[in-house]
Structure 1
Amino acid sequence: MDHFSSLLSSTLVFYSVVSITVIYILTKLRSKPSGRLPPGPRPWPLVGNILQVGKNANESFFELAKIHGPLMTLHLGWRTTVVASSPAMAREVLKTQDPSLSARTMIEAAKCLEYGENSLVWRDCVPRWRTLRRICTTQLFTVKRLEALHHLRREQMRSMMRAIYKSTSAPVDIGHAAFLTSFNLVGNMIFSKDMFDWDESEKSKEFKKALADMLFVGGKANWADYFPFLRPFDPQGIRKEMTRIFRIIFPVFDQYIDERLQSGTRSEEEDKDFLDILLESKTETGEKLTKFEITRFFYDLFTAGSETSSHTIEWAMSEIIRNPMVMEKARDELDKVVGKERRVEESDIDNLPYLHAVVKETFRLHPVAPLLIHHRALDSCEIEGYVIPKDAQVFVNVWAIGRDPNVWPEPDRFFPERFVDSDVEYKGQNFDLLPFGSGRRICPGLPLAHKIVHVIVATLLQCFDWHLPNGQNPEKLDMSAKIGINLTKVQHLVAIPTPRLPQHIYN
């Protein structure tokens, strides 16, 4: 009986493999593009080039591009993928061919609880997406709105500074401090209240852990994304885990929305927060956004507004600490422009060119979204004589662009001076530096991220001296990275602060 069961199982496996292989071959034959694909490594049957991609895809793509060129084709499972790895190719993808390449391939993790269908990040450029985008650019992230909420950012800087001051001589997790500050800042802009307290209640710990889990789980390579026949089986349990996480996060937003619906929105324009604006906003059909839609949209705002900024700040401070000359120059600039009798303010930032150079250099070496969020070809198009077939997945490897020796001399060196007296910006027009993307898919929260990153880094540098615990050599600081949804440090930055300003400033 055991022999029969074993034989039956082996037969079923054999026929399953044969059937899948036949389906794969027929699919590839039917979908074979009429033009010539960009060059790339030869794919294996069924798995394509997946085995040639390591755990950090941005690094693997970079090495493969050195062989196959700045526009390269890979077959990741059954999905045709094109990778752009130079400024010229990035310009083609994000600007010249933007109308054809601005769609999304929604990953399985984003489909849980209908998140992706209501997301600014994952939704195609359909009318509802354009409505959310319009709200961002004309009501939420305008210069006027951000300036009106300046006092909230100022108060969060004060809270961060006080909390670090209280822990003087004790190790501080800088990334965590930046996360709490930026998350509370976004929370105040949306709900007019802090989301977390610095002592971390049990509820805030659960919520923060859910966010961290989401970024880890959602960023995993999911076999169901590359082999469509696996989708119903959820072989790695990613869909199940993401559903569990969303069921922790979304009810928190629902609670805040319900409270506001009961109390009513503010009538004075200057007093309105983001929730007031969204509850009053109309869709393209003249209807109001539903609570369900707003909850999913808030998730995008919080993750982009806090996670991206906090990781950038952690990378910047890591580079500053391991490069003492950079720290000295940045601090000297702060002392000359701001002095030591008051805290740095947002109004000072435009007068701190070396600080700007430090942030740009951080974006170049450590872009938090190293492959941006991938695009999908709505229609077949051509780049440099090569065809990008309809429905192909398209990555822009901004991490590779930042390390291209043809673009940047000594690309692996952290050298902010390269941006001093340079007109290179990161607002989507210079394709050498694209941490926020470009074209219609550029991150709409860029103006807010610009303010958060600069003022937090400036505050950390002005208010405290930093040294590593246990006499660690700064030059040997672990700078290894791992990629999920964001590019993060494997080893979190922990450093010991020493106050460097008069005591009354910390009160």
Structure 2
Amino acid sequence: MSSTTPATINALLLLAFVALCNIVKQQLCRKTIRNQHNPLPLPPGPAPWLVVGCAPGMLRNKPAFRWIHRPMEEMNTEIACIRLGSTHVIPITCPTIAQEFLRKQDSVFASRPVTMASGTFSNGYLAAILSPYGEQWNKMRRVLVSKVICPARHKWLHDKREGEADNLVKYVFNLCKTSGHQVNLRTITRHYAGNVTRRLMFNKRYFGKGWQDGGPTIDEEQHVDLIFNAIFFTFSFSLVTTSFVATTSMILTFCVSDYFPFLVGLDLEGHENEVKESARILRRLHEPIISKRMKQWRGNLSSECEEKEPQDLLDVLIMLNDLQGKPLLTPQKVRAHTMEIMMVAVDNPSNAIEWAMAEMINQPELLNKAIEELDKVVGKERLVQESDISQLNYIKACAREAFRLHLVTPFNVPHIAMSDTTVAGYRIPKGSHILLNRIGLGRNPKVWDEPLKFKPDRHIISDHAEVVLIEPNLRFISFSTGRRGCIAATLGMTMTVMLLARLIQGFSWSKPSILSVNLAESRNGPFLAEPLVAQAELRLPSHLYLA
């Protein structure tokens, strides 16, 4: 179905006007000259209008990600070209072709697009994750990889992650006592992921005074919702909300002004206002903590901190010095890094485990198999720890299968072609936006047997081969790969496995009624249409829940 709002109609009328402008001739001349240098065809795709390309069709047919996928299925192609304005958008559903982009020609596609959302949330591209390729990106990525998101820091932060895994069990235990054992697992998984990121970054679970039961206050709930908002705005053709609650009220579309810069400021569909408001509230929550720390480490109180060690990642960012012993990061860059680190750790673990639990509750034999593994490896006299992860192959297989089948966003953050090149026999013009289609890759019937069925055993090759959550061959995307791959993959994998393992070890889960869990996917995105609510019963000695 199409959903056409007054704002969409205005955008269509304005784009139609542009299509009649006299720049058509210039566009056609440029195209002719460019094609003479590379006679290969573009990837197949829907026929574009002059100047505006396929934007009118995309605006009329929301959500955008389903519209993009539809012509690929109709043309039976695993690489396509959809022109928006003067930009060629190249979605890919084939792992082999994806590897050509992100492995064989990784250096060509190492940049990111300049968009309204990414520029806002990155404080003008002062950090690394969202920045276009260049000196700033190289410098900031080196800092993150060597000083901040590195193996030594991961080990250093172990106790903070363990504390939040303990709080997870305590919180579900308290919910069982007060809610008749019915538990909203969307709330649980997102709260856990938000807690971990706040603990690692700010060394605190709560922005203010928290609850005794370990659950979120309004500030923490809003914080997680806003982080999801930021993520969905930043991923092209992804989820855009009309409120600060990342639920089923989302509309999947794209920001028109990202592809038609002359529309910046008109805010035809309200995206710019939504992004600015989300960023403003996130900064309001972060700013008191950051400002206080800056004064402690660099201001009038710095002398009191001379003998103290950093306590969290915010301290590490503030304390980084250059070769002259001066602060490496300006206050603005510290704020930008804080925002980006918060954005990379919440969505994947929480979404994957909500889906995994829904699938496993509907197939009790899978849940029983996971319980048997946990009882064998860990037992019931202690809680599962990070040191057990290497032995929990079936738990990891369930998480890996959730990443394959159920994605939190339809596409990855776009890669940008920094020069004209050729991939899979097609011409890829400079400036093209490369979209790895997460849904198409993970559910590709040429790669996966019964691609729509949740089958964790498909990931267990042998009894002796360890299961890992990263998929280097891009048959699905968990944490991506290449120069722009996720720098926090180890953290993401640890959070994901611990979340699933603690939930299954600590509680017996079942459907809240005789009906099966509704596994319907939202029309507006690849998340569960309704939050997962399940029945939880205690299965460990009571003292373990109150540690």
2:77 and 2:368 mapped to 1: Cα distance? 40
2:167 alignment partner in structure 1:
159
User: In 1, are the aligned partners of 2:362 and 2:511 still within 8 Å (CA)?
Assistant: no
| Distance in structure 2 (CA, Å) of the matches to 1:344 and 1:163 | 16
TM-score by length of 1: 0.88
Cα distance 1:327–1:231, how it changes in 2: closer, same or farther (>3 A)?
Answer: same
Q: Does the alignment pair 1:48 with 2:53?
A: yes
Partner of 2:373 in structure 1?
A: 333
1:136 pairs with 132, 144, 149, which one?
A: 144
Q: 1:186 matched to which residue of 2? A: 197
Does the Cα contact within 8 Å between 1:312 and 1:363 map onto a contact in 2? yes
Any idea what SS the aligned residue of 2:265 has? helix
SS of the residue 1:449 aligns to: helix
Residue correspondence of structure 1 range 186-335 to structure 2 within 5 A? 186-195=197-206, 197=210, 198-215=214-231, 219-220=239-240, 221-264=254-297, 271-282=310-321, 288-335=328-375
Q: TM-score, normalised by structure 2?
A: 0.82
Q: 1:322-376, CA deviations, whole angstroms, 9 ceiling, x for partnerless residues? A: 2211111111111111111111111111111111111111111123343211111
Listed as ranges, the matches of 1:61-460 within 5 Å are 61-66=68-73, 67-112=75-120, 115-168=123-176, 169-195=180-206, 197=210, 198-215=214-231, 219-220=239-240, 221-264=254-297, 271-282=310-321, 288-421=328-461, 425-427=468-470, 429-460=472-503
Q: Say whether the 8 Å CA contact 1:436–1:443 is kept in structure 2.
A: yes
Q: Distance in 1 between matches of 2:316 and 2:413?
A: 27
What is the DSSP-based 3-state SS (H/G/I as helix, E as strand, rest coil) of the residue aligned with 2:80? strand
Q: Secondary structure at the match of 2:345?
A: helix
- 1:28 is displaced (CA, Å) by 4.7
TM-superposed CA distance for 1:68, in Å, is 4.9
What is the alpha-carbon distance in structure 2 between the residues aligned to residue 437 and residue 102 of structure 1?
Answer: 13
SS of the residue corresponding to residue 325 of structure 1 reads helix
> What is the CA deviation profile of residues 1-35 of structure 1, one whole-angstrom value per residue up to 9, with x for unaligned ones?
xxxxxxxxxxxx89982674433553354245422
1:26 maps to what in 2?
26
1:4 corresponds to: none
Q: By percentage of residues, which structure has more helix?
A: 1
- Name the counterpart of 1:482: 524
Tell me which amino acid in the other structure corresponds to 1:120: A
CA distance in 1: counterparts of 2:323 and 2:348, whole angstroms: 30
The farther-off stretch of 227-236 and 449-458 is: 227-236
Q: Relative to structure 1, is the Cα distance of residues 42 and 327 closer, same or farther in structure 2, using a 3 angstrom cutoff?
A: same
> 1:39: how far off?
2.1
Q: Distance in 2 between matches of 1:410 and 1:239?
A: 41
**Structure 1 residue aligned with 2:10:** none
Check the 8 A contact 1:131/1:284 in 2, yes or no. Answer: no
> How far apart are the structure 1 equivalents of 2:266 and 2:78?
36
C-alpha offsets along residues 125-167 of structure 1, whole Å, 9 cap, x if unaligned? 2222222212222222322221222111111111111111111
Name the counterpart of 2:504.
461
Q: Which amino acid aligns with 2:512?
A: P
Deviation for aligned residue 1:496: 2.3
Q: Spell out, residue by residue over 1:43-94, the C-alpha distance to the aligned partner (whole angstroms, 9 max, x if none).
A: 2345433466554555444443342522221113442111222111111110
How many residues align structurally? 491
Give the drift of 1:467: 2.4
Greater shift after overlay, 407-416 or 252-261?
Answer: 252-261
Q: What secondary structure, in the 3-state scheme, does the structure 2 residue paired with 1:406 have?
A: coil
Give yes or no for contact 2:228–2:347 (8 Å, CA) kept in 1: no
Give the fraction of aligned pairs with identical amino acids, expressed as a percent.
Answer: 28
The whole-number CA distance in structure 1 between the counterparts of 2:314 and 2:117 is 26
Contact 2:45 2:81 in 1 (8 A): yes
Question: Counterpart of 2:72 in structure 1: which amino acid?
Answer: A
Query: Aligned to 1:118, what secondary structure does the other structure show?
Result: coil
* Aligned-partner Cα distance in 1 for 2:380–2:174: 19
Confirm or deny: 8 A CA contact 2:171 2:215 kept in the other structure: no
Q: 1:379 to 1:152 in 2, by over 3 A?
A: same
- Is the alpha carbon distance of 1:245 and 1:63 closer, same or farther for their aligned partners in structure 2, counting shifts above 3 Å? closer
SS of the residue 1:469 aligns to: coil
RMSD after superposition: 2.8
Residues 426 and 434 of structure 1 are in contact (CA less than 8 Å); yes or no, is this contact kept in structure 2? no
Aligned partners of 1:210 and 1:245 also within 8 Å: yes
* C-alpha spacing 1:25/1:97, structure 2 compared with 1 (3 Å): farther
Q: Which amino acid aligns with 2:260?
A: F
Counterpart of 2:42 (choices 37, 54, 73) is: 37
Would the alpha carbon gap of residues 478 and 38 (structure 1) be closer, same or farther in structure 2, given more than 3 Å must change? closer
Letter in 2 for 1:449: G
